[in-house]
Structure 1
Amino acid sequence: MKQQLDQSSEMTMDIFGKISGHEQVVFCNDPSTGLQAIIAIHNTTLGPALGGTRMYPYANLDEALDDVLRLSEGMTYKCAAADIDFGGAKGVIIGDPKTDKSPALFRAYGQFVDSLNGRFFTGTDMGTTMEDFVQASKETPFINGIPVEFGGGGDSSVPTAQGVIYSLKATAEYLYGDETLSGKTYAIQGLGKVGFKVAEQLLEMGAHLVVTDINQDAIAAIQAKALAIQGNVAIVESEEIYGVDADIFIPCAMGGILNDETIEKLKVRAVVGSANNQLKSDLHAKLLHEKGILYAPDYIVNAGGLIQVADELYGANKARVLMKTKAIYQSILDIYKQSELDAITTLEAANRKCQQRLEEQRGRNNFYSRQKSPKWTFK
């Protein structure tokens, strides 16, 4: 018994050590629907925590916990960088989105979200849809990123993709002195909700694309698009994308893809993509810097969707979303210039900017001092 207690205590300490940088981690279990989920609230300095919920068939609980902790911390920085009054959080549902979804499962998840009483607002992410969160919204008002017909802002991948385009233009301006994107070659990893929209816009601008995706329907669709406008698209296998001769690499799939092995293969001048947590570790930002590859911090590049879902909580306004999304262009340029001025990586420059905002706002705009209503309106 003593040995069992000691092992249990050690396990508990391991968990608390792992989540020490977070305010709250909630494990959600509903056997009747099969729901197994984790909600991680990283920081509410700027306001109530905001972050999407993804559904993925994680191999084990540790893998799911590591992912939600990493993603939720990234949301804190993303909110700070986008200058919105929300903190960072994330949710993950353990399961295969193709086979394990049900309306009842998302209603059960909505009940867990509701139990946090406004500390956490959530909506779609990888593996989930707006329709899933229409179900969740039947149990809680703390849902965003839902269809226009239900009072939401609609598809958040639209402003996310637009933010990537603005980031690419800022990168071109910094590297070439001209923000024009046509005539250059872009290696795109992932043709999902965001990646496909980015690829479409680049094709229409006259860019050359090299793409990869495991979804053959997406590959066929982008080939059809290229054929219709006489565009230029080449298809490569998943691992080949890293060694493509291109101007800019655009990762729009899973995170953690920039590591020792893949960075060594890169033959590009910059990395500008929408995938969350592209760097395997912060050290890989330094490795990119040393190799002379400009890295656009992903949490700034992909902030367009966050801007829209945050805006929705004040009453959806597409013009306001577009205005704030356009600001990504200048934010990326400022980060590049600050990185060069201070002789630090672009990640360090971005993180310092976010940390400064968090420190400036500490005690000023905390969730607990805000109105408890789930929706706010501008005065």
Structure 2
Amino acid sequence: MNRYGHEQLVMFSDPASGLKGMVAIHDTTLGPSCGGLRIWPYASEKEAVTDALRLSRAMTYKSAAAELPLGGGKAVIIADSRTQKTEALLQRLMEWLGVYMGMKACAKVVWGTDSLRGKKVAMQGFGKVSTHTAHHLMKEDSEIIVTDVNGDALNAAKGMGLKVLKPDEIYDVECDIFSPCALGGVINKNTIPRIKARVVAGGANNQLLTEDDGEELHRRGILYAPDYLINAGGVINASTEIGADYNPELAREKTERIYEIMGRIAKESKEREMSTARMADRLAEERLASVRAIKPIYRGR
């Protein structure tokens, strides 16, 4: 918590129902903490705590980079998401749009056009966000290859006419865009040498295992779309409900700005010879610093 500046970590347990989880609040400089819920059968409480802290920090940067008046938080429940989650815990509204706009912005930088026609996209994970994104890619005549550890997800992909691979095979696919859409930490020193894409853009949180991995992608000439930027559609959508009636048009308009922000980050990354991962962090940190300069920080007192 001290290392990354977290404000709170609250753990809870209900033996009667078997509920066990935690809520991590990273930073409320810009506004109340906002974040979703991850349900996963973690091997240990320590692993769950680490994930909650990393995810909540990513939410702070996501809101800061998307210019939202929100802080970062995340809830984690230790459970099997396939058998124990309920619809009340599954509110994902516009994440797919942000991922799609992020891909198009990267395509514009790399190939000179944001058209994804004919581009081969390797999707690691085929949940709701991936499925919606895939539908849009199909409309552009993109070639899509997917993998997932869930058999039902793979059957859904096959039903859409998509090529399916085994989980470990996805890293070695010759493709234009590698799209991590499952768990975090999949972009690391072991997988980066295997990735043959020009772009990495997906909906998963915390895709880079370490900060050095972002630098390595940059060194290899692979354009990385910072995950907390292009998967910010969900938190952008939620932000439009704060203090006002929900406005879907405004939510969509703000989410589509991800295209503009991603393009700006890619441009500055090239001009400054800095990785897009670091460039996005700097954008978020500069906004946080500017607000801290004029606003007292609440630290749980």
Normalising by structure 1, what TM-score?
0.75
Is the contact made by 1:271 and 1:296 (CA closer than 8 Å) also made in structure 2? yes
Is the contact made by 1:45 and 1:363 (CA closer than 8 Å) also made in structure 2? no
Is the contact made by 2:119 and 2:176 (CA closer than 8 Å) also made in structure 1? yes
CA distance in 2, matches of 1:25, 1:283: 27
Q: What amino acid maps onto 1:172 in structure 2?
A: A
Residues 93 and 60 of structure 1: is their aligned pair in 2 closer, same or farther, counting only changes over 3 Å?
Answer: same
Q: What amino acid maps onto 1:79 in structure 2?
A: S
2:30 paired with 1:30: no
2:117 paired with 1:182: yes
Is the contact made by 2:11 and 2:22 (CA closer than 8 Å) also made in structure 1? yes
1:169 counterpart residue number: 104
Corresponding residue to 1:340 among 270, 273, 276: 270
SS in 1 for 2:178: strand
2:64 paired with 1:80: yes
Residues 344 and 129 of structure 1: is their aligned pair in 2 closer, same or farther, counting only changes over 3 Å?
Answer: farther
Is the contact made by 1:55 and 1:97 (CA closer than 8 Å) also made in structure 2? yes
Q: What amino acid maps onto 2:46 in structure 1?
A: D
1:265 counterpart residue number: 194
Corresponding residue to 1:305 among 211, 215, 234: 234
Alignment of 1:157-236 (within 5 A): 159-226=94-161, 233-236=162-165
2:78 paired with 1:94: yes
Range 72-81 or range 33-42, more displaced: 33-42
> Which consecutive aligned stretches of 4+ in structure 1 deviate over 3 angstroms post-superposition?
363-368
CA distance in 2, matches of 1:364, 1:81: 19
Is the contact made by 1:182 and 1:207 (CA closer than 8 Å) also made in structure 2? yes
SS in 1 for 2:240: helix
CA distance in 2, matches of 1:197, 1:41: 30
Residues 331 and 132 of structure 1: is their aligned pair in 2 closer, same or farther, counting only changes over 3 Å?
Answer: closer
CA distance in 1, matches of 2:241, 2:257: 18
SS in 1 for 2:72: strand
Is the contact made by 2:146 and 2:157 (CA closer than 8 Å) also made in structure 1? no
Q: Of the two, which has the highest radius of gyration? A: 1
SS in 2 for 1:261: coil
Q: Which runs of 5+ in 1 are unaligned?
A: 1-15, 102-127, 134-144, 146-154, 227-232, 369-379
Residues 39 and 317 of structure 1: is their aligned pair in 2 closer, same or farther, counting only changes over 3 Å?
Answer: same
CA distance in 2, matches of 1:195, 1:283: 27
2:206 paired with 1:277: yes
Is the contact made by 1:47 and 1:366 (CA closer than 8 Å) also made in structure 2? no
Query: C-alpha deviations, 1:232-275, integer Å up to 9, x for none?
Result: x3211101100100011011111100011110101110101110
2:183 counterpart residue number: 254
Q: What amino acid maps onto 1:263 in structure 2?
A: I
Q: What amino acid maps onto 2:109 in structure 1?
A: Y
1:112 counterpart residue number: none
Is the contact made by 2:65 and 2:283 (CA closer than 8 Å) also made in structure 1? yes
2:218 counterpart residue number: 289
Normalising by structure 2, what TM-score?
0.94
2:46 counterpart residue number: 62
CA distance in 1, matches of 2:86, 2:187: 27
CA distance in 1, matches of 2:197, 2:89: 38
Displacement after TM superposition at 1:217 (Å) = 2.4
1:40 counterpart residue number: 24
Alignment of 1:313-332 (within 5 A): 313=242, 314-332=244-262
CA distance in 2, matches of 1:366, 1:36: 34
CA distance in 1, matches of 2:134, 2:148: 12
CA distance in 2, matches of 1:59, 1:221: 28
CA distance in 2, matches of 1:363, 1:30: 41
SS in 2 for 1:260: coil
2:196 paired with 1:239: no
CA distance in 2, matches of 1:53, 1:185: 31
Q: Point out which structure has higher relative CO (alpha carbons under 8 A, 6+ apart).
A: 2
Range 276-285 or range 31-40, more displaced: 31-40
Q: What amino acid maps onto 1:275 in structure 2?
A: A
